[in-house]
């Protein structure tokens, strides 16, 4: 079945890349491009959360905290020290990875629903802290005057147009996918998967749960940090209400709806849930009602998500198998 | 029967006065015995005798209240180690109820079993340098060979949860063996197997012993334990009531009273 698709699968990647590249040239409506930038940011977030929820099976209800941390990190280093975007991106990534590890520490001793509650609490604490640390974060007004990215050579300022962000965000998405693919079929990826399937059995296989879980939070945090940094740089401002609990739920819904643990599925989930509200605009005030209905229906008819739990299989093509006696 | 006399003089696992209490219940009560290199040691006893609790003490799932456990040539103290550390030392186990990673393929299950044989860490997995690629290939081949050994190689790409029961039992053992353990703990491997499968299992355990792995076996079925074991330890109410060669155990009045009953005299 899968082998039948082999010739197709070689084609779809270049086709996909071409489609992504061509989109802003074909569809010149700036609003559409802008929606796609948001979609791309949500794709990053969904990919990051997928490492935690999908690969390692830790239910995280406070992912917006990591997103917020990434955004505020870039905002602060940029405003105070004029750190350019390209360096801020790395700072945001690594700082958020560390923050993710910090958040994971209290959660390590817990399992299942209890971790979910801890992450939920952590998410709220971060939002409330951002609201109230007026001297650092500017409180509910947030931070203003964050630099947009620019290139030195050729000299180019991203400004407030959407197109450059579109390319930036999709380069990041592709880069993240590249590394996640590697992780998936590595010792660490298998350890995550084993941990999700049966934590006790995984421990008896020699998997250190602390190592695996902290790695998951670090990578999830890093990706969320990238997303946050791009978000802050594009908006030029950050404020706490962009990192509401609803964001955490939305990203989680993308992961679950698309297919837990599957990169393609998660991307599809992010695409669907970002674009669906836009397509439903014609229904005006019924929009969110229909959106909710669509989500319920999707879960009813495909509870495992669009492409749930399909992992790339470890291929072994033996050159010469010596038959077992 | 023992192929290597000189090695088998030394114990691979030494239990001294191991005691585990759960509240008022003493599940394992001052149990002392040694497991010799290259032996198959059968651990038998009626239901609730504390066999699995003893297994859990050895593998670090629960730490004993009293007593010491020493393992290996250098006789490492196991008492305060976590399960994954104990696996690293060279002890692998299977479970009474099957605990496979159901949504992973058969091959991947065995590759997870080989976790301790690999060096790839966080950065290695992320950047995949050449040595990591080579290691991946080696481990995949190693896992595949193991599946061949267990007659499961044709099922390598199936999801473990979709395997028939007998194969799942085998896969559990294959996964445990993938870590290249010195000591393999099998918790009722024959549970739910039919006579043919049990016969196969006996062959398999002999083959595993032939690979130089010491086996500690919990089993209810005397037809499995007696022919394969070099040495048998009998537990009852957490206490060791007898130990010795299978033949002596079969004729031991204490054991017959506690457990074997009439069936042993057949």
Q: Which of A175-184, A249-258, A308-317, B89-98 has the lowest mean pLDDT?
A: A308-317
Q: Which two tokens stand for residue A125?
A: 């604490």
Closest to A190 (Cβ–Cβ): which among B83, B111, B128? Answer: B111
> Which positions 63-102 of B are in contact with A (Cβ < 8 Å)?
82-84, 87-88, 92-93, 95, 99-102
Residue A194: list chain B partners with CB under 8 A. Answer: 101, 104, 112, 115
Q: Which residues pair with B217 in a beta bridge?
A: B42, B186
- B165 and B33 in a single domain? The answer is no
Q: Are residues B162 and B197 in the same domain?
A: no
Q: What is the pLDDT of residues A132-162, one digit of tens each?
A: 998 888 888 889 989 888 888 777 888 888 8
Do both B170 and B212 map to the same domain? no
Task: Please tell me which of the candidates B115, B121, B127 has its beta carbon nearest to residue A206.
Answer: B115
Among B149, B179, B209, where does a domain finish?
B179
Same domain, B9 and B72: yes
Contacts of A186 in chain B (CB under 8 A): 120, 124-125, 128, 132, 136
Q: So what's the pLDDT on residue B42?
A: 93
List A residues 203-232 in contact with B (Cβ-Cβ < 8 A): 203-209, 211, 215, 218-219
Are the Cβ atoms of B141 and A318 closer than 8 angstroms?
A: yes
Q: Is there a contact between A69 and A240 (Cβ–Cβ < 8 Å)?
A: no
Burial of B118 (0-12, 13-18, 19+ CB in 10 A): buried
Judged by average pLDDT, the poorest of A135-144, A207-216, A315-324, B200-209 is A315-324
pLDDT at B4 over 90: no
CB B128 to CB A186 under 8 A? Answer: yes
Same domain membership, residue B186 and residue B172: no
Residues B27 and B64 in one domain: yes
Distance CA A78, CA A85 (A): 8
If you count residue pairs, one on A and one on B, with CB atoms under 8 Å apart, how many are there?
123
**Is residue B203 in a domain?**
yes
Q: Is residue B218 part of a domain?
A: yes
Residue where one domain finishes, among candidates B139, B164, B179: B179
- Mean pLDDT over each residue of chain B, to the nearest integer: 88
Chain B residue numbers with beta carbons less than 8 Å from the beta carbon of A183 are 125-126
When pLDDT is cut at 50, 70 and 90, the band that residue B7 belongs to is: low
CA distances (Å), origin B48, targets A137, B22, B30, B45, B238: 61, 13, 16, 8, 8
pLDDT digits (tens, 9 = 90+) for A228-248: 999 999 999 999 999 989 899
Q: Retrieve residue B28's tokens.
A: 């394992």
| Residue that is last in its domain, among B179, B202, B224 | B179
CB A274 within 8 A of CB A35: yes
Distance of CA A206 to the CA centre of its chain: 29
CA distance A88 to A71: 10
Q: Please state, for a pLDDT cut of 70, what percent of chain B lies above it.
A: 94
Is there a single domain that holds both residue B36 and residue B107? no
Q: Would B54 be classed as within a structural domain?
A: yes
Give the residue on B whose Cα is nearest the Cα of A191.
Answer: B112
Domain membership flag for residue B235: yes
The answer to whether residue B104 is domain-embedded is yes
pLDDT of residue A320: 45
Cβ contacts of A1 on chain B, cutoff 8 Å: none
Cβ contact B112–A179 (<8 Å): no
Q: Is residue B95 one of the residues assigned to a domain?
A: no
Which chain B residues in 120-139 lie under 8 Å from chain A, judged by CB atoms?
Answer: 120-122, 124-128, 132, 136, 139
Same structural domain, B193 and B255: yes
A49 contact B CB<8A: no
Total-model pTM: 0.88
Kindly tell me if the per-residue pLDDT of A303 is higher than 80: no
Number of domains making up chain B: 2
Cβ–Cβ below 8 Å for B179 and A314:
no
* Residues of chain B contacting A202 with CB distance shorter than 8 Å: 101, 112
Which residue of chain B has the CA closest to A207?
B84
Q: Which of B104, B100, B114 is nearest to B144 (CA)?
A: B114
B141 lies in the same domain as B30: no
Rounded mean pLDDT, A89-98: 97
Query: Residue B260: what pLDDT?
Result: 55
Chain B interface disruption, residue of A201, A202, A218, most B CBs within 10 A: A201
B120 and B242 assigned to the same domain: no
| CA angle (B187, B191, B194) in 5-degree steps | 145
Of A187, A218, A321, which is closest to B115 when you measure between CB atoms?
A187
pLDDT-derived band at B264 (thresholds 50, 70, 90) equals very low
Q: Are residues B158 and B188 in the same domain?
A: no
**Domain interval for residue B66:** 1-90+181-266
Angle of the B165-177 helix axis to the B106-113 helix axis, nearest 10: 30
Would you state the torsion angle of the CA atoms of residues A159, A161, A162, A164, taken in this order, to the nearest 10 degrees? -60
CATH of the domain at B74: 3.40.50.300
Same-domain pairing of B39 and B51: yes
- pLDDT reported for residue A128: 93
Q: What is the pLDDT of residues A44-65, one digit of tens each?
A: 999 999 999 989 888 899 999 9
Candidates A182, A185, A201; nearest CB to B126 = A182
Residues of B in contact with A189 (CB under 8 A): 125
């Amino acid at each position: 079945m899968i082998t039948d698709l082999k010739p197709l699968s070689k084609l779809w990647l270049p086709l996909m890349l071409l489609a992504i590249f061509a989109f802003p040239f074909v569809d010149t409506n700036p609003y559409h491009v802008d929606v796609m930038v948001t979609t791309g940011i949500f794709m990053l977030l969904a990919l990051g959360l997928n490492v935690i929820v999908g690969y390692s099976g830790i239910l995280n209800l406070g992912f917006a905290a990591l997103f917020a941390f990434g955004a505020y990190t870039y905002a602060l280093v940029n405003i105070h020290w004029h750190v350019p975007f390209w360096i801020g991106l790395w700072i945001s990534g690594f700082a958020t990875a560390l923050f993710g590890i910090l958040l994971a520490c209290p959660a390590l001793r817990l399992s299942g629903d209890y971790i979910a509650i801890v992450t939920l609490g952590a998410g709220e604490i971060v939002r409330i802290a951002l609201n109230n640390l007026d001297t650092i974060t500017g409180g509910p007004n947030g931070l203003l005057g964050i630099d947009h990215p620019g290139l030195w050579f050729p000299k180019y300022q991203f400004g407030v147009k959407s197109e450059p962000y579109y390319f930036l965000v999709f380069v990041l998405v592709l880069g993240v996918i590249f590394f996640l693919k590697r992780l998936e079929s590595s010792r660490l990826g298998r350890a995550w998967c084993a941990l999700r399937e049966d934590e006790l059995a995984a421990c008896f296989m020699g998997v250190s749960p602390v190592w695996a879980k902290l790695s998951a939070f670090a990578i999830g945090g890093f990706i969320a940090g990238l997303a946050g940094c791009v978000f802050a740089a594009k908006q030029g401002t950050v404020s706490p209400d962009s990192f509401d609990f609803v964001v955490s739920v939305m990203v989680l819904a993308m992961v679950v709806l698309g297919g837990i643990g599957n990169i393609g599925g998660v991307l599809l989930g992010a695409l669907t849930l970002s674009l669906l509200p836009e397509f439903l605009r014609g229904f005006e005030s019924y929009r969110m009602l229909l959106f909710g209905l669509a989500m319920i229906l999707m879960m009813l008819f495909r509870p495992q998500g669009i492409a749930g739990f399909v992992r790339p299989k470890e291929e072994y093509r033996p050159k010469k198998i010596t038959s077992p006696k | 029967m023992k192929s290597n006399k000189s090695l088998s003089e030394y114990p691979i696992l030494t239990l001294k006065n191991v005691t585990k209490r759960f509240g008022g219940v003493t599940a394992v009560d001052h149990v002392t015995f040694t497991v010799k290199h290259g032996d198959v040691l059968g651990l038998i006893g009626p239901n609730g005798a504390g066999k699995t609790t003893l297994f859990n003490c050895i593998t670090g799932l629960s730490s004993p209240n009293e007593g010491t456990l020493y393992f290996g040539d250098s006789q490492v103290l196991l008492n305060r180690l976590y399960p994954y550390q104990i696996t690293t030392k060279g002890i692998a186990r299977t479970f009474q109820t099957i605990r496979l990673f159901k949504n992973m393929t058969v091959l991947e299950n065995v590759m997870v079993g080989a976790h301790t044989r690999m060096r790839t860490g966080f950065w290695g997995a992320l950047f995949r340098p050449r040595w990591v690629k080579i290691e991946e290939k080696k481990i995949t081949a190693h896992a595949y060979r193991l599946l061949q050994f267990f007659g499961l190689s044709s099922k390598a790409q199936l999801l473990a949860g979709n395997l028939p029961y007998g194969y799942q039992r085998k896969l559990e053992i294959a996964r445990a063996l993938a870590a290249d353990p010195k000591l393999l703990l099998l918790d009722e491997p024959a549970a739910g197997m039919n006579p043919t499968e049990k016969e196969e299992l006996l062959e398999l355990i002999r083959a595993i012993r032939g690979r130089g792995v010491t086996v500690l076996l919990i089993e209810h079925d005397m037809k499995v334990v007696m022919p394969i074991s070099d040495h048998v330890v009998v537990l009852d109410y957490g206490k060791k009531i007898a130990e010795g060669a299978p033949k002596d155990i079969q004729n031991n009045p204490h054991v017959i009273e506690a457990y074997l009953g009439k069936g042993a005299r057949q």
